[in-house]
Chains A and B, each alone.
Chain A
Amino acid sequence: MAVMGRRRVMFNYRVLAVIKRELREKLFSKAFIFMTLLVPGFMILILGIQALLYTSETKNLKIDIISETSGMTTAFQNEMSTADLVKNGNYVFSYLTMSRDEVKNYLNEKKLMLLDEKIGGIVYIPASAMKDKKVEYYSKSSKNITLFRELGGPINNTLINFYFNNKSLSKDDLDFARINVDFTGFKVSKEEGFKEEGYGNLVLAYLFTFLLYFSMIMIGQMTMQSVIEEKGNRIVEVILSSVSPTELMTGKILGASLTGVIQMAIWLSPIILIMSTSIFMLPKEFVFSISSTVIIYMLINFFIGLLTFIGLYAMLGAIFDNPQDAASGAMPLLMLIMIPFFIAMSMMDNPNRPIAEIASLFPFASIIVMPARMTLVGVPMWHLGLAILINIVTFIAIFPVAGKIYRIGILRTGKKPKWSEVVKWLKYKY
Chain B
Amino acid sequence: MYALEVKNLTKTFEKVVAVDNATFEVPEGSIFGLIGRNGAGKTTTIRMMMGIYLPDNGEVVLRGVKVGQEFKNQVGYLPEERGLYKKMKVLETLLYFAELKGKSGREVQKKAEEYLKRFELYDRRLSKMEDLSKGNQQKIQFLTTILHDPEFIILDEPFSGLDPINTNLLKDIIMEKKQEGKVVIFSTHLMDFAEKMCDHIVMIDHGKVILKGSLKEIKSNYAQKNVSLTYDGDISFLKSHPIVERIADYGNTTGIRLKDANQTQQLLKLLVERNILVKKFDANDISLQEIFIELAGNEDGSNGKEARNV
Determine whether the beta carbon of B100 is less than 8 Å from that of A240: no
**Which residues of A have CB within 8 Å of B73?**
242
Give the interface segment out of B15-23, B51-59, B240-248.
B51-59
Determine whether the beta carbon of A239 is less than 8 Å from that of B81: no
Minimum Cβ distance to chain B for residue A193 (Å): 55
A243 contacts the other chain (CB 8 A): yes
Determine whether the beta carbon of B77 is less than 8 Å from that of A238: yes
Minimum Cβ distance to chain B for residue A267 (Å): 25
Number of cross-chain contacts by CB at 8 Å:
68
Known interface pairs A17-B100, A243-B100, A430-B53; A233-B86 also in contact (CB < 8 Å): yes
Interface size class of B (residues with CB under 8 A): 20 to 34
Known interface pairs A233-B83, A233-B84, A237-B81; A242-B53 also in contact (CB < 8 Å): no
Minimum Cβ distance to chain A for residue B16 (Å): 13
Q: For the complex, give the distance between the alpha carbons of A50 and B101 in Å.
A: 56
Q: Chain B: which residue is nearest A241 at the CB level?
A: B77
* SS class, residues of chain A in contact with chain B: helix
Determine whether the beta carbon of A411 is less than 8 Å from that of B54: no
Q: Chain B: which residue is nearest A21 at the CB level?
A: B96
Within 8 A of B (CB), among A11-34: 13-14, 17-18, 21, 25, 29
Q: Chain A 228-251 against B: per-residue CB contact (8 Å), 1 yes, 0 no?
A: 010011110111111110000000
A429 contacts the other chain (CB 8 A): yes
A5 contacts the other chain (CB 8 A): yes
Determine whether the beta carbon of A234 is less than 8 Å from that of B79: yes
**Which residues of A have CB within 8 Å of B69?**
5, 244
B178 contacts the other chain (CB 8 A): no
Q: For the complex, give the distance between the alpha carbons of A274 and B39 in Å.
A: 65
- A411 touches which one: B52, B82, B83 (CB < 8 A)? B52
Interface centre among A18, A238, A241 (most CB of B within 10 A): A241
**Which residues of B have CB within 8 Å of A229?**
85-86
Minimum Cβ distance to chain B for residue A367 (Å): 29
Within 8 A of A (CB), among B147-164: 154
Q: Chain A: which residue is nearest B92 at the CB level?
A: A24
Q: For the complex, give the distance between the alpha carbons of A224 and B100 in Å.
A: 22
Q: For the complex, give the distance between the alpha carbons of A241 and B153 in Å.
A: 11
B87 contacts the other chain (CB 8 A): yes
- A241 touches which one: B52, B82, B96 (CB < 8 A)? B52
B128 contacts the other chain (CB 8 A): no
Within 8 A of A (CB), among B122-143: 141
Within 8 A of A (CB), among B23-54: 47, 50-54
**Which residues of B have CB within 8 Å of A235?**
83-85
6 A–B contacts, CB within 8 A, in A order: A13-B99, A29-B87, A229-B86, A238-B79, A238-B84, A429-B56
* SS class, residues of chain B in contact with chain A: loop
Q: Chain B: which residue is nearest A5 at the CB level?
A: B68
**Which residues of A have CB within 8 Å of B219?**
none
Q: Chain A 53-76 against B: per-residue CB contact (8 Å), 1 yes, 0 no?
A: 000000000000000000000000
Q: Known contacts A13-B99, A237-B47, A240-B50; can you find 11 more A-B pairs with CB under 8 A?
A: A14-B102, A17-B99, A18-B100, A229-B86, A234-B83, A237-B77, A238-B84, A241-B79, A242-B97, A243-B100, A429-B56
Minimum Cβ distance to chain B for residue A256 (Å): 16
B75 contacts the other chain (CB 8 A): yes
B72 contacts the other chain (CB 8 A): yes
B188 contacts the other chain (CB 8 A): no
B144 contacts the other chain (CB 8 A): yes
Known interface pairs A241-B72, A429-B56, A430-B53; A13-B79 also in contact (CB < 8 Å): no
Determine whether the beta carbon of B102 is less than 8 Å from that of A13: yes
Q: Chain B 85-123 against A: per-residue CB contact (8 Å), 1 yes, 0 no?
A: 111100000001101111010000000000000000000
**Which residues of B have CB within 8 Å of A14?**
100, 102
Minimum Cβ distance to chain B for residue A134 (Å): 71
Within 8 A of B (CB), among A183-201: none
Minimum Cβ distance to chain A for residue B51 (Å): 8
**Which residues of A have CB within 8 Å of B53?**
411, 430
Minimum Cβ distance to chain B for residue A120 (Å): 58
Minimum Cβ distance to chain B for residue A424 (Å): 9
**Which residues of B have CB within 8 Å of A29?**
87
Minimum Cβ distance to chain A for residue B204 (Å): 20
**Which residues of B have CB within 8 Å of A234?**
79, 81-83
